[in-house]
Structure formats: structure tokens, C-alpha cells
């Protein structure tokens, strides 16, 4: 069953039918923790393999990040003989990951009832755009759609200009949540012998990320309006320009506000004014605080401003370009980026590790994302298919 990993999930087999980010990254996290993850690709390569191409093969940046530590099998699961192969693999698996609408899962025989008929204790981890049971459940959707529907996109821009965050935070949050749910389901099975279905949805992930504003809205009906980069529930909280760049500066609570006022050289002016008596008041009157912070930051370079903030024990950080982010010395010192060789590329590809570290059973990025179908023959041999049978499936276009 694949090569030993030494991770906490060694011996767990995951079949990954995911596409793009939410499903594949969930499976990648399980793989980083030691699971044997088998990714199912279309024979010509699935769509998500070729987004933002970086390799001569056309394999893309998103694919490389979301599919490390996996093995790739090319297979048509809708072909009768392909479906038979899937069933044999399900019989060896612990978890099936899929981000497909329920009707599609049923047609493919990947709904939980069909999987349980093959492996009674199987765990199905399923991701959809809107969850199962509502009027939009059968619709497809991506990260940006869920962000838009959560209210976050409208709230993040300037008034009248909704703004999309380019980072797919909804997909990543959904993936990590589903990985957590899968781990809980594995623990439940260990105790009871029962499998179950784990459901994640982009919309509820987006709403969780935006929950404080939504809870406040539901409770008080404040109908807050967007304020661009400036925060609303505390201040200072804004992006301000320096002599040579931009910084993000934040302060929460009376102690940090007092230290900010001292840094401005105006402690009495700000700390004695009732308009700034608490976080909410400071948020309501944050435009004045941002204006003063901009005036202060404009005197310094980014490095000088951040040094002064650090001395004052105030949160602040540079607004980086992607180049600056990957070249940051702290990122390098922490080892957040893992250089991995990839076929066809002269230089290694830097992959970002999962966002949690364990001291007793650490995860690891052991191998780069697989080339298309690189492990088809090996995986099929593991479930008992002879070389002649594998060859016949290839001739028929099943694999």
C-alpha cells in the first residue's frame, strides 16, 4: 500500500477525486501527515493540473502546491471497467475525498451509500459550494462566489466598489476544515468501527471567516458600510505609506492605543478625548487616527517605521509584493517554503508547508506533485491486476 511515510497517518489510504483547491488541498494535508494519497486524473490530465503553468509539461503552480505527496492514476471512472477498478480501490481505502455535487457523486458511484456497500467503514469527505439541503445545493461555485455571498467582498472594498481578495482563503479554509473533520472521523471509526460522511461547503467557510460582522449584524442590525483598508472595530488599523513602501499597522486595547499615542508624541491629546475612550469608539472615529498615522509613517522608510513600532510593542508589518514574500528572511528562517525538484524544471519548486506544526508527529513534504499517470501501473498492480490486464485497460482507453 504505497511506501511507508513514518507520519501519524501511515497506513491510511485516501482516494482523491478532488479538483482545484478545496478537495485536493484537504487530501494534501492528509498526505503531509503520512497518508497514502492516490489522485484520480483524467487520461488527458484534469483541468486543475494546468492552471498557472510553470513546468514544461504544462503542470501549474496551483497543482504543484495542492497535490504534493500524492500518487497519480489516470482513469475514466464512468467507463464500466473503470468503475470496477474504482470499486476495487475503494475496498482498500479508508477515505474518499471529492468536491463534486451530490448528483455527480451518485452517477459516479461515489456517494456514501454506494461506497459503504463496498467498504462499510469508509469515510467520505465531500466538499460542495453551498452544502446539501438548500435551494442552491446542486449549483456549482468557486471561492470567489462564496466570498461574495458571505458579505465579505462587499464589505472589503471602498463604498460602491466591492473588492475580491486574490488569495483563495475560502478554498483553503474549507480544505483545512475538511482535513480536521476527516481526522475526527478516523478517530470516531477507531472507537466505534463506523465510517461516516464529512461535509464541507465553501459558503459556510466564508461565513466563518466573516462571522464577527455577521453576528453583529444579526444581533444589532448596524448595517456597517465599507471603509477600504481601515478597520472599524478598533484603531489604529490601516495600511499607510512610508517613504519607500507600505505598512500595515494595528492596535487593539487601551494599552496599545496609549503606546500609539506616545509614539505620535501626543498622548494627552488622544487619550483624554472621550471620542477615543474604547476600541469601538476608536473604530468609529478611525479616520482621524489613520490620518495621523499616515502623517507619522510618511517621515520614515518602511524599515525605520517597523523598527519604531517594534520598540513600542505595536503590531505592524510590511505590505509585500509576492517576490518580497518569498524572499523574506523570516520566512526563510522558519522554513515555511520547501524546495522540491520537479521533472523538466532546472530549479526546485518552492512549496508552502501546511499551516500547523506538530512536535511529536510532524508532517512532511516528501515528494512533489506527481506527473500525469505516473503511478497508474503501480497502483493497479497493488490491487492485483496483472500487467496484461493493465495493458488491456490502456488499449480500451480506460486508463
Cell numbers for 47, please give them: 483541468
Q: What is the pLDDT of residue 244?
A: 98
Strand order in the sheet with 123-128: 70-74, 36-41, 13-16, 95-98, 123-128, 197-201
Q: With a cut of 70, say whether residue 2 has pLDDT above it.
A: no
Which is more confident, 100 or 359?
359
Q: What is the value of pTM for the model shown?
A: 0.95
Q: How far, in Å, CA of 304 to CA of 311, rounded?
A: 11
- Res 12: pLDDT: 98
Nearest to 170 by CA among 156, 157, 152, 186: 152
220-256 per-position pLDDT tens digit:
999 999 999 999 999 999 999 999 999 999 999 999 9
Render pLDDT for 308-346 as a digit per residue (tens, 0 to 9): 999 999 999 999 999 999 999 999 999 999 999 999 899
Q: With pLDDT > 70 as the criterion, what percentage of the chain qualifies?
A: 99
Q: Check: CB of residue 337 under 8 Å from CB of residue 352.
A: yes
The predicted structure's pLDDT at residue 179: 98
Taking residues 350-363, what's their average pLDDT?
Answer: 95
Q: What is the pLDDT of residues 45-102, one digit of tens each?
A: 999 999 999 999 999 999 999 999 999 999 999 999 999 999 999 999 999 999 887 8
Interval 153-170: pLDDT, tens? 999 989 999 999 999 999
Residue 3 has pLDDT above 60, yes or no: no
Mean pLDDT of the chain: 96
pLDDT of residue 4: 58
Quote the pLDDT of residue 76: 95
Checking if the pLDDT of 129 tops 90, the result is yes
For 195, the grid coordinates are: 465510517
**Lowest model confidence (mean pLDDT) among 137-141, 240-244, 310-314, 347-351:** 137-141
Q: What is the pLDDT of residue 104?
A: 85
Amino acid at each position: 500500500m504505497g511506501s511507508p511515510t513514518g507520519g501519524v497517518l501511515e497506513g491510511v489510504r485516501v482516494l482523491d477525486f478532488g479538483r482545484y483547491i478545496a478537495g485536493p488541498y484537504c487530501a494534501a494535508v492528509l498526505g503531509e501527515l503520512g497518508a497514502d494519497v492516490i489522485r484520480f486524473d483524467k487520461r488527458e490530465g484534469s483541468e486543475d493540473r494546468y492552471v498557472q503553468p510553470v513546468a514544461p509539461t504544462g503542470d501549474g503552480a496551483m497543482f504543484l502546491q495542492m497535490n504534493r505527496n500524492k500518487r497519480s492514476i489516470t482513469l475514466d471512472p464512468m467507463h464500466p471497467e473503470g468503475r470496477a477498478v474504482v470499486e476495487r480501490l475503494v475496498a482498500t481505502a479508508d477515505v474518499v475525498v471529492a468536491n463534486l455535487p451530490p448528483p455527480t457523486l451518485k452517477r459516479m458511484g461515489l456517494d456514501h451509500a454506494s461506497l459503504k456497500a463496498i467498504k462499510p467503514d469508509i469515510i467520505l469527505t465531500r466538499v460542495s459550494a453551498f452544502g446539501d439541503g438548500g435551494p442552491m445545493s446542486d449549483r456549482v461555485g468557486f471561492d470567489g462566489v462564496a466570498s461574495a455571498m458571505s458579505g465579505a467582498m462587499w464589505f472589503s472594498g471602498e463604498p460602491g466598489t466591492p473588492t475580491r481578495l486574490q488569495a483563495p482563503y475560502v478554498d483553503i479554509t474549507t480544505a483545512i476544515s475538511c482535513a480536521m473533520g476527516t481526522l475526527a472521523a478516523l478517530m470516531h471509526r477507531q472507537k466505534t468501527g463506523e465510517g461516516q460522511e464529512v461535509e464541507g461547503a465553501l459558503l459556510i467557510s466564508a461565513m466563518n471567516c466573516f462571522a464577527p460582522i455577521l453576528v453583529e449584524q444579526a444581533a444589532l442590525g448596524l448595517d456597517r458600510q465599507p471603509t477600504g483598508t481601515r478597520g472599524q472595530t478598533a484603531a489604529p488599523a490601516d495600511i499607510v505609506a512610508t517613504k519607500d513602501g507600505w505598512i500595515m499597522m494595528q492596535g487593539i486595547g487601551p494599552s496599545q492605543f496609549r503606546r500609539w499615542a506616545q509614539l505620535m508624541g501626543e498622548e494627552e491629546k488622544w487619550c483624554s478625548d472621550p471620542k477615543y475612550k474604547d476600541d469601538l469608539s476608536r473604530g468609529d472615529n478611525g479616520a482621524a487616527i489613520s490620518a495621523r498615522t499616515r502623517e507619522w509613517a510618511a517621515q520614515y522608510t518602511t524599515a525605520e517605521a517597523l523598527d519604531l513600532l517594534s520598540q513600542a510593542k505595536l503590531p505592524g508589518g510590511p505590505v509585500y509584493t509576492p517576490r518580497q514574500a518569498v524572499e523574506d528572511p523570516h520566512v526563510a528562517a522558519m522554513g515555511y517554503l520547501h524546495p522540491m525538484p520537479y521533472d523538466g524544471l532546472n530549479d526546485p519548486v518552492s512549496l508552502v508547508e501546511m499551516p500547523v506544526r506538530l512536535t511529536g508527529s510532524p508532517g512532511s513534504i516528501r515528494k512533489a506533485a506527481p506527473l500525469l499517470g505516473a503511478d497508474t501501473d503501480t497502483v493497479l498492480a497493488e490491487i492485483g491486476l496483472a500487467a496484461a490486464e493493465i495493458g488491456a485497460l490502456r488499449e480500451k482507453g480506460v486508463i
